[in-house]
Structure 1
């Protein structure tokens, strides 16, 4: 078995547990601001890797991606389960998932996708209090969520370069 070097994930492994939800609080702010359409300035979007926003939802690059182009789509409202969303929020969330998938299709041309939610810690949710959907582009021969396979190489793209590519 060979080791896979994924340095962009190491910071995640050594982080102390966050007490604040990454989806609700602006990461670089000393005084936390709730993320919503009013407080999301276009100037700050790139710093937070926020790709798009809609009436009830927003999308952002995962800063600890499983693969190039790994996007998370979350509702603005802090809810832990899909049944807590209103029909309007759920519809809006799925429209944004569809829009982000279309952008990935156009820009990255992956061979497939993993799209889904981890609801609850037991299911692997890193932020189990705020529902979010992962969109993970996949290519034949990639590592399928980081298990090590012989002769498999991951070609990482920087988050800044990925943001610039997807935002155009």
Structure 2
């Protein structure tokens, strides 16, 4: 009797009409809870600058702010601009931090144009948990390069994003382009 019941249902791993893309690396991030950050001690944006650029995916360090790759990018080259100080909102920045925050966002776009030739960008700051900030207590701006056709059914239907390069490869490309300075000529 039991085998007849199970025969009516597809068991885990049994073939069906769907192909699956597995993202097991996301489990640690989901279990930890991205919105569990409450202070500097558990903030990845505060911890990042204490490690090497390669470990933290940092592509540029400024005086008051830094730029790093998003660990879970929407597109290849998805960058974040963060102040070193643990502040939650744009209005909390000093004048000096505000100037560098903006300048690094502008430079990030110039570097990405040189390194990857995107056709456009999405820029965004989500403030507060209800505003959509994944790490609400530490201000960060998203800089997402965009190309024609980069948005398709995969993120919506399969909750999966196809990326053409590893984070390490992308970090190297962006950091090297930034360091060589050719992007400044396109300013």
Root mean square deviation of aligned Cα: 2.6
| Equivalent residues of 1:143, 1:154 under 8 A apart | no
For 1:110-168, what per-residue CA distance to the aligned partner results, in whole angstroms no more than 9, with x for missing partners? 1111011000111210100000000011111112793349xxx8343100110111111
Q: After the TM superposition, which residues 124-139 of structure 1 pair with which residues of structure 2 at under 5 Å, given as runs? A: 124-139=132-147
Over 3 Å counting, the alpha-carbon distance change for 1:108 and 1:4 in structure 2 is farther
Q: Does the residue aligned with 1:7 lie in a helix, a strand or coil?
A: coil
Q: Does the residue aligned with 2:110 lie in a helix, a strand or coil?
A: helix
Which of 45, 57, 62 is the equivalent residue of 1:23?
Answer: 45
Q: Which 5+ residue runs of structure 2 have no aligned equivalent?
A: 1-17, 177-187
When the two structures are superposed, what TM-score results if normalisation uses the length of structure 1?
0.78
Q: Which has the larger radius of gyration?
A: 2
Once residues 126 and 135 of structure 2 are traced to their aligned partners in structure 1, the CA distance between those partners, rounded to angstroms, is: 9
Normalized per residue, which structure has more helix? 2
Match of 2:174 in 1: 166
The answer on 1:47 being equivalent to 2:55 is: yes
Which of 143, 147, 157 is the equivalent residue of 2:156?
Answer: 147
Over 3 Å counting, the alpha-carbon distance change for 1:6 and 1:138 in structure 2 is farther
Once residues 9 and 101 of structure 1 are traced to their aligned partners in structure 2, the CA distance between those partners, rounded to angstroms, is: 28
Over 3 Å counting, the alpha-carbon distance change for 1:99 and 1:5 in structure 2 is farther
When the two structures are aligned, how many residues end up with a matched partner? 150
Q: After the TM superposition, which residues 59-70 of structure 1 pair with which residues of structure 2 at under 5 Å, given as runs? A: 59-70=67-78
When the two structures are superposed, what TM-score results if normalisation uses the length of structure 2?
0.71
The answer on 1:10 being equivalent to 2:18 is: no
Match of 1:101 in 2: 109
Over 3 Å counting, the alpha-carbon distance change for 1:80 and 1:113 in structure 2 is same
CA offset at residue 15 of structure 1?
3.1
